[in-house]
Amino acid sequence: MTAVDPNDVSAVHSESKVNLLGLTRLQMEQFFLDLGEKKFRAQQVLKWIHHAGVTRIEDMSNLGKALRDKLSAIAEVRPPEIVSQQDSSDGTRKWAIRVEGGGLVETVLIPAGNRATLCVSSQVGCSLDCSFCSTGKQGFQRDLSAAEIIGQVWLAINSYNAFGPGHNRVVSNVVMMGMGEPLLNFDNVVAAMDLMLEDLAYGLSKRRVTLSTSGVVPALDRLAGLSEVSLAVSLHAPNDELRNQLVPINRKYPIAVLLESCRNYMASQTDKSRVVTIEYTLIHEVNDQVHHARELVALLRDTPCKINLIPFNTFAQSDYRRPSGNAVSRFWQVLVDAGYIVTIRTTRGDDIDAACGQLVGQVADRTRRSERYRAMDDSQIITVG
Ligand code: SF4
């Protein structure tokens, strides 16, 4: 474990300078046009930042001295600050990251075969207070900026000294499943995902970037036609009565409305064969019974999807319990028999306090969160927690 002094605030920079790290290609082009410079400067700077990992403007050698001086006076490349890093014997690496203003978020990189999935946070805390998640119990502090979101990808690659050709091997997939509800930080999340897909930045395929939402329906409707990233929905219950308890935003946007919004999102994609991932946290004697599974089968009949079952991981502030292995198997079998593709998340990073929030808790004495890191690829679902 590498620890950094949490009281060191030297990484907090002047807020008067533009942080180039979070600018999309279009924003960067406009930035240079506004400076009276040519648009192609944006391509050069994007490559320096996201392909080469360069943060010092004076090192951007193809810009010319006069432009570098002009740029340095008004802009900088300012990644968030790593406060603590932990490495698991299974290859999982986890960071606590301090963002401006002093808030802490977590980022986790989970390798699996020839892939490595980065779980990225979008907010400091969360306002939605799902009953099985301790992030909500921390309360909401603020949205992350686009630079602080994409900065997590930058930091992960940088921590392996892996900028340059092939950095996609270090972070091959990104899931917006860390702290916060991404659709409640819409503009910054969309901008950061834009950079994830942008060839001049990280160049990830749209299938390898996943947004996970608890069901902010108007924002999901807005995303349709605007983005082609993969979609995951935290359902966790087969009916409104139960979901109202587990995911309170359901009282505002009930399941039928949410699933219709999911279908619309998938219909807006150019590739019509894609499906939504339904996330279902199994909680002992709450939602893990066979009759719940049967209800789920009926509920999802008209929604092209695959299902990710997540056995609940206990945490101190929760009375919920982990389901038995038999209960998980029975639930899985009902779904498989009905023809669904179903994965069960396995646990990773046991030896590094990998349950989400533990690392932040160590650093800042915060409340520990329930498992939130959900690393997914098309063939395997992995849990840290
Ligand atoms: S599960 Fe997600 S949306 Fe719900 S409280 Fe936790 S972080 Fe927020």
- In angstroms, the CA 111 to CA 120 distance is 14
What is residue 371's predicted lDDT score, i.e. its pLDDT? 41
15-76 folds as DNA polymerase; domain 1 (1.10.150)
Where helices occur in 35-145 by DSSP H, the ranges are: 40-46, 65-74, 134-138
Catalytic residue numbers read: 106, 356
- For the chain, 385 residues long, the average pLDDT of each consecutive 10-residue run is 35 70 98 97 98 98 97 97 93 93 92 92 94 83 97 96 83 95 98 98 96 98 95 98 98 98 96 95 97 98 96 86 96 98 80 51 38 36 30
Tell which atom from ligand 1 comes closest to the C-alpha of 213.
Answer: 3
pLDDT at 72: 97
Nearest 5°: CA angle at 229, between 238 and 204? 135
CA of 55 from ligand 1 middle (Å) equals 33
Between the CA of 167 and the centroid of ligand 1 the distance, in Å, is 30
Amino acid letter at 87?
D
**Which of 24, 376, 22, 384 has the alpha carbon at shortest distance from 208?**
376
Indicate the pTM of the whole model: 0.88
Q: Best mutation site among 122, 126, 371 for ligand 1, i.e. most ligand atoms within 8 A of its Cβ?
A: 126
If you measure from the C-alpha of residue 177 to the centroid of ligand 1, how many angstroms do you get, rounded to a whole number?
A: 9
How far does the chain reach from its first CA to its final CA, in angstroms?
A: 18
CA distance 300 to 310: 18
Phi, psi of 80, deg, nearest 5: -65, 170
pLDDT value, residue 4 = 33
Binding pocket residue ranges, ligand 1, CB within 6 Å: 126, 128-130, 133, 135-136, 180-181, 214, 234, 372
Domain edges within the chain: 15-76, 81-384
Q: Which atom of ligand 1 is nearest to the CA of 123?
A: 7
Superfamily of domain 81-384: Aldolase class I (3.20.20.70)
For atom 3 of ligand 1, the residue with the nearest CA is 181
Question: What does each C-alpha distance from 189 to 123, 211, 338 come to in angstroms?
Answer: 10, 9, 35
Instruction: Kindly give the number of the ligand 1 atom that is closest to the alpha carbon of 135.
Output: 6
Distance 53 CA to ligand 1 centre (A): 32
Name the residue among 306, 375, 314 with its Cα closest to residue 345: 375
pLDDT of residue 345: 85
Atom of ligand 1 nearest to the CA of 214: 3
**Which residue of 121, 124, 130 sits with most ligand 1 atoms within 8 Å of its CB, as the best mutation to test the pocket?**
130
The protein residue with its alpha carbon nearest to ligand 1, atom 4, reads 130
The ligand 1 atom nearest the CA atom of 370: 6
**pLDDT score recorded for residue 136:** 76
How far is the centre of ligand 1, averaged over its atoms, from the C-alpha of 360 (Å)? 16
Measure 130 CA to ligand 1 centroid, in angstroms: 5
